[in-house]
Amino acid sequence: MKNKNLLFILTGFTVAGLLILLQVLFIVREGDAAVVTTFGKPTRDLTEAGPYFRWPWPIQRVYRFDQRTQCFEGPYEQILTRDGKNLLISLYVGWRIMEPTPFLERVGSMEQAERNLEGLLRNYTSATLGQHPFSALVNVHAEALRFLSIEEEIKQAVQNEAETRYGIHVEYLGIRRIGLPESITTRVFERMRAERTELSERYASEGESEALRIRAEADSEREQTLARADAEAKRIRAEGEAMAAEAYRIFAEDPKLAVFLRKLDVMQDVLTNRTTLILGTDSAPFDLLQGPLDLEP
């Protein structure tokens, strides 16, 4: 019986203790920050997670904030570059609550923080880009680009003001989109089409002239090859003729016989197949047709 009472008493105390604890104990969760106010005046900044004590309401109140880095993107808005070009640009910023007390006093809520940041982004983006030409953002010559330094410049400016005024730390900042106003896109398309047409025509004429060049080169090469071969052939033939002339030297021994033999050859060469041969019967062997021959010596 005593033991049982003890159990009940203990249970009672535990429950009562828990109820009281809930009034005076509060938890700051990992990733959160809190400010404790005493009669409305901020008295304690809590940026570490864990359990903390406080006086019960209405003496002390706890304001909790998400202390993780928030990613906020500003609106996609039109700005003017130094050379008077209209651009659409949007930036995003990663921010976190650095000091909860100034944040509570000067900002109060995450939504308000984003509204404030939006204002800062707008101011410093247009101020910074107003000092740079469009070609610092978009350029095939990488050395003329100032993209990263422009980002850094805006980040520094936003960070300084956010820290001193709102207790907000800017972790990162980036340009997310750069575009052109709607009416300008149609002009860009016109230019793009014109550039493409020019390119098409260039390719077409390049193809034709290159093909012509290759053909002409090939033709001239062929002529040269054939001319060389002809010259070589003449040389070879002349060589043969020179050697033949050497052989003919022997004809000098009896030129009459040489001429006669040559005549025989020529006659044989000239009278090829299917010629019509007209001979007088006074020439051999047709002299036989004329009657008896006088074979007497």
Per CB under 8 A, the segment of 35-43, 100-108, 113-121, 273-281 that binds other proteins is 273-281
Q: Which 193-232 positions form the footprint of other proteins (CB under 8 A)?
A: 193, 195-197, 199-201, 203-204, 206-208, 210-215, 217-219, 221-222, 225-226, 228-230, 232
Q: How far is the CB of 101 from other proteins (least distance, A)?
A: 20
Q: Which 123-152 positions form the footprint of other proteins (CB under 8 A)?
A: 137-142, 145, 147
Using CA atoms, how far apart are residues 98 and 166, in angstroms rounded to an integer? 9
Joined together, the tokens standing for residue 259 give 């001429």
Buried b (16+ CB within 10 A) or exposed e, 32-47: bbbbbbeeeebeebbe
Per CB under 8 A, the segment of 28-36, 54-62, 99-107, 121-129 that binds other proteins is 28-36
Q: How far is the CB of 267 from other proteins (least distance, A)?
A: 6
112 vs 164, which CB is nearer to other proteins? 112
Using CA atoms, how far apart are residues 229 and 221, in angstroms rounded to an integer? 12
With binding defined as CB under 8 A, does residue 174 bind other proteins? yes
When binding is defined by CB under 8 A, the residue of 57, 111, 247, 296 that contacts other proteins is: 247
56 vs 198, which CB is nearer to other proteins? 198
Q: What is the DSSP string of 126-179?
A: HHHHTTS-GGGTS-SSGGG--HHHHHHHHHHHHHHHIIIII-EEEEEEEEEEEE
When binding is defined by CB under 8 A, the residue of 63, 88, 126, 163 that contacts other proteins is: 88
Using CA atoms, how far apart are residues 117 and 97, in angstroms rounded to an integer? 12
163 torsion bin: left (phi>0), alpha (psi -120 to 50), beta (else): alpha
Using CA atoms, how far apart are residues 52 and 27, in angstroms rounded to an integer? 6
The Cα-based distances of 57 to 34, 91, 148 in angstroms read: 16, 42, 50
Per CB under 8 A, the segment of 101-109, 112-120, 161-169, 186-194 that binds other proteins is 186-194
Per CB under 8 A, the segment of 22-30, 119-127, 152-160, 161-169 that binds other proteins is 22-30
With binding defined as CB under 8 A, does residue 183 bind other proteins? yes
When binding is defined by CB under 8 A, the residue of 13, 53, 55, 189 that contacts other proteins is: 189
